[in-house]
Amino acid sequence: MLPPHDRSGGAPLDARTGLPVVAMIGGGQLARMTHQAAIALGQSLRVLATDPGESAALVAADVRLGDHRDLAALREVADGATVLTFDHEHVPTEHLAALEADGVRVAPDPAALVHAQDKLVLRHALARAGEPQPAWAEVTTDTGIADFAGATGWPIVLKPPRGGYDGRGVFVVDDLPEALALLAEHGRLLAEERVPMVRELAVQVARSPFGQVAVWPVVETVQRDGINTEVLAPAPGLDDATATAAQELAIRIAQRLGVVGLLAVELFQTADGVVVNELAMRPHNSGHWTIEGARTSQFEQHLRAVLDYPLGSTAMTAPVVVMANVLGGDAATEDWMGPSLDERLHHLMAHWPDVKLHWYGKGQRRGRKLGHVTALGDDLDEVRARAVAAARYLADGVVDAAFAFPEEH
Amino acid sequence: MLPPHDRSGGAPLDARTGLPVVAMIGGGQLARMTHQAAIALGQSLRVLATDPGESAALVAADVRLGDHRDLAALREVADGATVLTFDHEHVPTEHLAALEADGVRVAPDPAALVHAQDKLVLRHALARAGEPQPAWAEVTTDTGIADFAGATGWPIVLKPPRGGYDGRGVFVVDDLPEALALLAEHGRLLAEERVPMVRELAVQVARSPFGQVAVWPVVETVQRDGINTEVLAPAPGLDDATATAAQELAIRIAQRLGVVGLLAVELFQTADGVVVNELAMRPHNSGHWTIEGARTSQFEQHLRAVLDYPLGSTAMTAPVVVMANVLGGDAATEDWMGPSLDERLHHLMAHWPDVKLHWYGKGQRRGRKLGHVTALGDDLDEVRARAVAAARYLADGVVDAAFAFPEEH
């Protein structure tokens, strides 16, 4: 028999439940779905949201309102929490350092997180580690840009080091004047070659402070205007060698950077293999399929990892899983005259009784990620058609020709 | 294109999300897990709890504190809700009638719910419908009991018509003096023959106001001291004819009684088929396996049904699914010197990375349902051993001989 002791080494536990309290900075859909996972583990996610109408704030029991750039708000939400973690990458590094100095457990810690916050820091780190990435340069001068483009040819890709997501902050630039204008605006840029890619892939891996890692199958991510619209799991037709290499790459990065929690590695597949595009150190859109499609979801796994619990099985629950994002479309506009959201959900359920819905409760706006659907099965074409048609119906109220759909119900 | 209209026919929707608000009376684990399901549907469950430390109150965003026997509290929680439903059967029928008179949608309605509240009302209804049930009588006099026992032989089973659950309120009585003492205490009893049963089964069916029904596979429920400890899905070795008959029986009962929402039909299997033991009109312990084990969980399905959404697929996600309850055991006692709950969860995850945990966050007390675990796979013996060993370790901190388990981690 073990003597009674607190395995968390003095980190606070909830007095009522005897279990950890994870605090998450940010109240979006990632926090919303993490709260769902926390409920099963006997926990209740504490959320720092900026507005009571945010996705997670609508459903979590312990919501603190405040700004993630306000150190006082961060200190308040960290007080009594076992560990602090993130729904986004926007918390200033110096605030995280201050919290760590207070004795707060931050996962991932600021030294790791900066690689997901700053694209130049990531490029330098991957270069030191000898990991595959696009040709790149840190440019601060006109000649720096001209030299880089001279070596790779136009177009080139320019990225301000911080602040982008969902395709924002990525500029494909065709000529020098356009490039110089961007440089004048930002002062310092990451320049990258435009990778001749076959498609985009993603690998998700979880790592605990103890050093355990768990990786899910490599997936294909389909983008439209820089925003992820579909995730196909596993990546169709990916050869075993490339799949294993991509998983090993993700594990090496997690270990090298000391990631704690979830790491999503976004990859470009080229004729020669894969190169690293970007990282996220949190649950990520490319992992939503795991809620139904894997024995352990990315949200549960993130909680396990940041709490130093042993990680769960990443085995798939079906041969093929497809996640399709619902981006605000025609039905999200003010002058929409078609079926209401509630009616569209009704139709969705009637037509696809085995498609799983995840609706985030946000206000509807064109282009906004409002929810996602997941379909499972044996045949990629069938499963994908089902997921995409369901998502499209929710977004635009439009029925794909491939699916007969009654006008009335 | 359909004209814009509110398919819910004027019932309130949440102004922020445009989606329904389900209010559930009772803050136990059933409400907790229903909230989890509500999150995916874009909703947030409104809960009436009696204490802020209750299972659902710890995790839901919209918790009202009050007593389910207080009409004013019921009216307050119903205000602005699309529909009112239940985590337990203990709301007085006259209060539900008053709410309906106010215009509140109550699901199931009081005329249906009474069959789950009052065992004598159920017996009379099943008799009128000609459905199979044990030999029974409503007894109010000493001679009534003596005549019944004279016909069936001792022991007999005596039940006060209202208030029992988890084996409470069920008395197996060996002789007349004991029976008369019970009658003197309660005044009116349901007397039943002691059924010569092979085992206990359960069928869960959902029914919507529109009349759609969806039924899950028949399961075997294993009891210890009248409390469910394991659910085996599907019921091992059950012949197709009996399984179909049991499902059809459950559907007939749901239709006949006008159930809206989930109906759990607890059955005794005898040499001749099945007879009805009891009903529950809500998510039920016998359906917890559906969270991972079926495409649509009982909790999501209950929400769909009470909202008159189309019902989801009840297909199983694995050939064999076993749910094991964690009942407070040695580890729930004051003088427990073994690993803490947090440590036990840690060990559980290390040893069984594919067992799914559901912990309810309640205070630990011997015999109390504190959580459950679910295992999935192909081989009943293996899956069952895994689930039972995991549950036993959580309850008692004891490792089954069949599982090697390290003393230290």
Both tokens of residue B239? 């012949």
Nearest CA in chain A to B337: A4
**Which stretches of chain A drop beneath a pLDDT of 70?**
1-10, 164-167, 400-409
Q: Which of A59, A311, A313 sits opposite B39 (nearest CB)?
A: A59
d(CA B236, CA B218): 9
d(CA A372, CA A379): 20
Q: What is the pLDDT of residue A35?
A: 98
Q: State how beta strands A273-280 and A227-233 pair.
A: unpaired
Q: How far is A64 from chain B (nearest CA, A)?
A: 12
- Contact call for A39 and B61, based on CB within 8 A: no
Tokens 């009248």, residue located = B226
- Contact call for B357 and A41, based on CB within 8 A: yes
- Contact call for A310 and B356, based on CB within 8 A: no
- Contact call for A345 and B41, based on CB within 8 A: yes
Looking at beta carbons, which residues of chain A come within 8 Å of B61?
Answer: 57-61, 63
* Mutation for B interface: A59, A64, A314, most B CBs within 10 A: A59
Select the more confidently predicted residue: B56 or A225.
B56
Q: Which of A39, A53, A340 sits opposite B18 (nearest CB)?
A: A340
B369 is in an annotated binding site: no
Asked whether the bond before B406 is cis by omega within 30 degrees of 0, the reply is no
* Mutation for A interface: B5, B7, B62, most A CBs within 10 A: B7
Q: What is the pLDDT of residue A1?
A: 33
Q: Which of B61, B318, B340 sits opposite A4 (nearest CB)?
A: B340
Both tokens of residue A320? 């093929």
Strand ranges of the sheet holding A83-86, from the earlier edge strand across to the other edge: A62-65, A46-49, A22-25, A83-86
Tell me, what DSSP letter sits at residue A118?
A: B
Tokens 């580890």, residue located = B331
- Contact call for A304 and B40, based on CB within 8 A: no
- Contact call for A359 and B40, based on CB within 8 A: yes
Looking at beta carbons, which residues of chain A come within 8 Å of B360?
Answer: 42
Tell me, what DSSP letter sits at residue B286?
A: G
Q: What is the pLDDT of residue B10?
A: 65
Q: Which of B59, B315, B337 sits opposite A4 (nearest CB)?
A: B337
pLDDT tens-digit series, residues B18-53: 999 999 999 999 999 999 999 999 999 999 999 999
- Contact call for B40 and A353, based on CB within 8 A: no
* Mutation for A interface: B216, B289, B349, most A CBs within 10 A: B349
With 0-12 / 13-18 / 19 or more C-beta atoms within 10 angstroms meaning exposed / middle / buried, residue A267 is buried
Q: How far is B277 from chain A (nearest CA, A)?
A: 30
- Contact call for B44 and A57, based on CB within 8 A: no
- Contact call for B349 and A61, based on CB within 8 A: no
- Contact call for A4 and B339, based on CB within 8 A: yes
d(CA B157, CA A324): 55
- Contact call for B353 and A310, based on CB within 8 A: yes
Q: How far is A238 from chain B (nearest CA, A)?
A: 25
Q: How far is B223 from chain A (nearest CA, A)?
A: 24
CA-CA-CA-CA dihedral for B321, B327, B331, B332, to nearest 10: 150
SS3 (DSSP) at A99: helix
Identify the structural domains of chain B with CATH numbers, from first to last: 22-106 (3.40.50.20), 135-193 (3.30.1490.20), 199-396 (3.30.470.20)
Nearest CA in chain A to B336: A4
Kind and range of the H or E element at B320? strand B320-327
- Contact call for B312 and A353, based on CB within 8 A: yes
Q: What is the pLDDT of residue A5?
A: 38
E strands, A281-337, where? Answer: 320-327
B207 is in an annotated binding site: no
Q: How far is B63 from chain A (nearest CA, A)?
A: 8
B100 is in an annotated binding site: no
Most confident of A121-125, B222-226, B330-334, B398-402: A121-125
- Is residue B15's pLDDT more than 70? yes
Nearest CA in chain A to B354: A313
Q: State how beta strands B356-359 and B219-224 pair.
A: unpaired
- Contact call for A338 and B4, based on CB within 8 A: yes
- Contact call for B354 and A33, based on CB within 8 A: no
Tokens 């089964």, residue located = B201
* Mutation for B interface: A2, A8, A47, A326, most B CBs within 10 A: A2
Q: How far is A77 from chain B (nearest CA, A)?
A: 17
Looking at beta carbons, which residues of chain B come within 8 Å of A215?
Answer: none
B185 is in an annotated binding site: no
Q: What is the pLDDT of residue A224?
A: 87
pLDDT tens-digit series, residues A353-372: 999 999 999 999 999 999 99
Looking at beta carbons, which residues of chain A come within 8 Å of B39?
Answer: 32-33, 35-36, 59
d(CA B102, CA B89): 21
Residue-wise DSSP of B34-92? HHHHHHHBT---EEEESSTTSTTTTT-SEEEE--TT-HHHHHHHHTT-SEEEESSS-S-
* Mutation for B interface: A340, A369, A399, most B CBs within 10 A: A340
Nearest CA in chain A to B55: A42
B295 is in an annotated binding site: no
What is the interface size between A and B, counted as CB pairs within 8 Å?
195
Q: What is the pLDDT of residue A164?
A: 66
Binding residues of A for ATP: 119, 159, 192-195, 200, 277-278
Q: What is the pLDDT of residue A225?
A: 82
d(CA A221, CA A198): 12
Q: Please provide residue B269's backbone torsions phi and psi, each rounded to the nearest 5 degrees.
A: -90, 130
Q: How far is A14 from chain B (nearest CA, A)?
A: 10
Q: Which of A353, A360, A408 sits opposite B313 (nearest CB)?
A: A353
* Mutation for B interface: A342, A343, A351, A358, most B CBs within 10 A: A342
Nearest CA in chain B to A310: B350
Looking at beta carbons, which residues of chain B come within 8 Å of A17?
Answer: 58, 341, 361
Number of H helices, E strands in chain B: 12, 17
Q: What is the pLDDT of residue B405?
A: 46
